[in-house]
Structure 1
């Protein structure tokens, strides 16, 4: 009898995690339209009443799922959020950080794209922990002498993340196995670093473009 009673005891934290994981899978598979509390409850193998206890509405479930994905991203790329305040931008291993971001995107391509679309469409993207740290770290970098002048950290963040999260579409379509996908991930990570380090245009060959950029930077 005691053992049977123990089996009935539920862990609310574990149940919530199971529901969020199921919701993230549905988001990745079917987009926002495919997410409902009943569908998530079915996939998570919990009854609808339990799902409603944790999330009163579909909107709250989607919001919590996006936050859940953001936390996964944060931990995969930056580490423990509790210690992130100790990190100085001058000490960041940019190459390793880029590799971690590209690896996570390749393993979780659909949910990363859903997350990015939701965050960019939100009234205040800075409310999202991962976006806040990613764009914020680029801004802190731009404010140091380590950076070239004139970096627009917000635009740069969108460009980088859009590329990182959409590259897996190409990689998965053109890779026959995991080894080839890993090679394509490394190619992308390499190009992100190369563009960050060297850019793509030889300024001496494009004096008019260089003059335009200098004028726009001066007017900003």
Structure 2
């Protein structure tokens, strides 16, 4: 009697996750130009037809991969998006949030930089969940009594993310062990917090510059 071949149970959700993880590796390595359905299928060890079943075009695959990375960022920095409503700014711990962001960037430097480039170049960055929450946090902070007047929250969001995502280039070039990388991550988060609290230039030493950046009465950029 012939032995019956045991059929492998298909799990579409797991297959999709495998494809997106492979695509994220190619995105981090070669940017969007390095992504094709054939290359991703090969890396994910699935046939090309299966990849096409999940993503009909290369463009949809790239879009889904950027969203997948955004979800990873969101969960690392803010927690489960399904259980997170709009938080009161007083409930946000900026030190802990900054440290989580820097730690994720240190572990995923190439992926973070490509993600940021894709989101900022998109027609509607606000469609990205992580960007919406991150920039939204700064916008709510800028309108609160805890903030200095005249903050451009969009510019500040880009500056912070760009710094956090590019610092690992130096850090990973000079750090060998995970402990050393963690120390460098903490150095960056510490400086970002110090800069946010105190800045670098004393206004009385630069009166002309101080006058230039003094916010107009009633102005609201956010």
TM category, shorter: over 0.9
Normalised to the residue count of structure 2, the TM-score between the two structures is 0.94
Corresponding residue pairs, total: 217
Kindly provide the CA deviation profile for residues 60-83 of structure 1, in whole angstroms up to 9, marking residues without a partner as x.
Answer: 000000000000000100011122
Give SS of 1:217's match. coil
Query: What does residue range 80-91 of structure 1 map to in structure 2 within 5 Å?
Result: 80-85=80-85, 87-91=87-91
CA deviations 1:173-195 (Å, max 9, x no partner) are: 11132222111111000001001
Q: Which runs of 4+ in 1 moved over 6 A?
A: none
Match of 1:212 in 2: 212
Give distance in 1, aligned partners of 2:55 and 2:68. 14
- Number of the residue aligned with 1:4: 6
Q: Could you tell me how far apart the structure 2 residues matched to 1:200 and 1:81 are?
A: 35
Show structure 2 runs of 5+ residues with no match: none
Answer 1 or 2: which has greater helix percent: 1
Give the aligned partner of residue 22 of structure 1: 22
- Distance apart, 1:217 and its partner CA: 3.1
- For 1:86 and 1:33, how far apart are their aligned partners in 2? 36
Cα separation, 2, equivalents of 1:84 and 1:124: 22
Cα deviation, 1:90-144, whole Å, max 9, x if unaligned, reads 0111100000000000001111011000000001100000000000110001111
The alignment's C-alpha RMSD in Å is 1.4
How far did residue 87 of structure 1 move? 2.2
Partner of 2:47: 47
Q: Judging changes above 3 Å, is the alpha-carbon distance between structure 1 residues 56 and 218 closer, same or farther for their aligned structure 2 residues? A: same
Q: Which residue of 2 aligns with 1:115?
A: 115
* Distance of 1:2 and 1:28 partners within structure 2: 43
Structure 1 stretch displaced more, 169-178 or 88-97: 169-178
Structure 1 CA distance for aligned equivalents of residues 143 and 84 of structure 2: 19
Gaps of 5+ in 1: none
